[in-house]
Amino acid sequence: MEIYSMLDIIGILGLPFPKHGESSYYIQCPCCDDPRDARSKHLNINLRKNVYRCPRCGLSGGMFDLYAYYENIPRKNVYNEIRKKMGKLQEPSGTPKKAIPIVSQPVEEIENPIIDVESRHATYSALLSKLNLSSDHRENLRNRGFTDKEIEKLEYKTTPVMGMSSIAKQLRSEGYYLEGVPGFFRKDDGEWTFINEKRGILIPVRDYKGQIQGLQIRRDNTEKRKFRWVSSSDMKDGCKAEGWTHLAGPISEKIILTEGPMKADVIHTLTGITVLAVPGVNTLTQLKLTLEILRKEGLKNVKTAFDMDLLTNYHVQNGFNNLLQLLDDMNFKFGTYIWDPRYKGLDDYIWESLMNKKR
Ligand SMILES: [Zn+2]
């Protein structure tokens, strides 16, 4: 039996190929996307798992299902059709014809792929508009140097403690997608809901257009792993957040690169300088993609500003070296901000200096 991959099927069907190195990408969904709108792409092709799924309409399956759908033929005929098209039907004479086993991919095991950023932004914005910011959280943010106006603009909110099913229901009735949006999942009764996390501040993580890519939570009363992604990866029909970067401020020739979206918002608010944040120095995949976009838009100079414990923590140091290597490989000018090591982060240092000036 010949072994085919999703890429073979895509080639035969004449569908768009992925960009170099991508193992998961989107094409137009033949079921629900408007063919006149070339930007509308909801069908996720996963080359690693050889599966596809549209988080919008639910069309999904393995590579043979994809072929059967496009060519409108019974699935059991697919294998022979593909062999014919691949020019491999010449059986050596005398070989007994055997039934060809086709292993069917159990569709329910396919994890929900993340929906496009436009849809995520719409859903998260609508979600945040229904939530409040508690007074202790507002106080916490003011103490970092944010004004109320800035807090409102950044859309920081307090994690909801209850009523998530009704908010999810409302969002659905208003036409927002919950499939493929990390944090949302289905309960056993099939109804949609949102994760019930430890109480904390919800932080929108935005791309260079200001669109919300995902949400982080700054959890109350925790020292370990204070910041976490809103994710529903182990839940029914849920999905996993990626290590998205966050841009605070407009794209410019020079930016500061730091760790953590809330820190980036603080530094930008206090200095006016545009700040890009990675979720951690050991997660650089999304950073490379973002830097490629920003470079096209004119970014030339990157100043890194990571916490001073970088100087002592080997694990972090290693990730930091990889990050500098990445900046070098991409031909950016780069340098590192060094500040008074009594302060953990650049934001603390700037804040303290500003306060001293006022005194
Ligand atoms: Zn679809």
Distance (angstroms) between ligand 1 centre and the Cα of 59 equals 6
Distance (angstroms) between ligand 1 centre and the Cα of 119 equals 13
* 257 located within any domain: yes
Q: pTM of this prediction?
A: 0.71
* 240 located within any domain: no
Cα–Cα dist 43/52, whole Å: 7
| pLDDT at position 96 over 60 | no
* 234 located within any domain: no
The tens digit of pLDDT for each residue in 134-185 reads 999 999 999 999 999 999 999 999 998 888 999 999 999 999 999 899 999 9
List beta partners, residue 46: 24, 51
> For the CA atoms of 302, 306, 312, 316, what is the dihedral angle to 10 degrees?
-80
* 260, 227 contact by CB (below 8 A): yes
The tens digit of pLDDT for each residue in 219-265 reads 998 887 889 999 998 888 899 898 899 999 999 999 999 999 999 99
Q: Are residues 55 and 121 in the same domain?
A: no
Residue 311 has phi, psi (to 5 degrees) of: -65, -20
Q: Are residues 31 and 51 in the same domain?
A: yes
Distance (angstroms) between ligand 1 centre and the Cα of 259 equals 36
Q: Residue 345's pLDDT is what?
A: 79
Q: Are residues 177 and 97 in the same domain?
A: no
Q: Residue 347's pLDDT is what?
A: 84
* 235 located within any domain: no
| pLDDT at position 111 over 80 | no
* 238 located within any domain: no
Q: Are residues 15 and 100 in the same domain?
A: yes
CATH number at residue 305: 3.40.1360.10
Tally of structural domains, the chain? 3
Distance (angstroms) between ligand 1 centre and the Cα of 330 equals 36
User: Helix, strand or coil for residue 324?
Assistant: helix
Task: Please report, for residues 14, 26, 115, 130, the alpha-carbon distance to residue 39 in angstroms, rounded to integers and kept in the order given.
Answer: 18, 10, 14, 29
Q: Are residues 122 and 90 in the same domain?
A: no
163-180 exposure pattern, b = at least 16 Cβ within 10 A, e = fewer:
ebeebbeebeeeebbbbb
Burial class (CB in 10 A: 0-12, 13-18, 19+), 321: exposed
Domain boundary among 229, 261, 279: 229
Q: Are residues 342 and 290 in the same domain?
A: yes
Distance (angstroms) between ligand 1 centre and the Cα of 52 equals 10
Poorest-pLDDT segment among 67-76, 119-128, 144-153, 306-315: 306-315
* 97, 39 contact by CB (below 8 A): no
* 1 located within any domain: no
Distance (angstroms) between ligand 1 centre and the Cα of 57 equals 4
CATH number at residue 211: 3.90.980.10
Tell me the residue range of the domain where 218 lies.
Answer: 117-141+149-229
* 72 located within any domain: yes
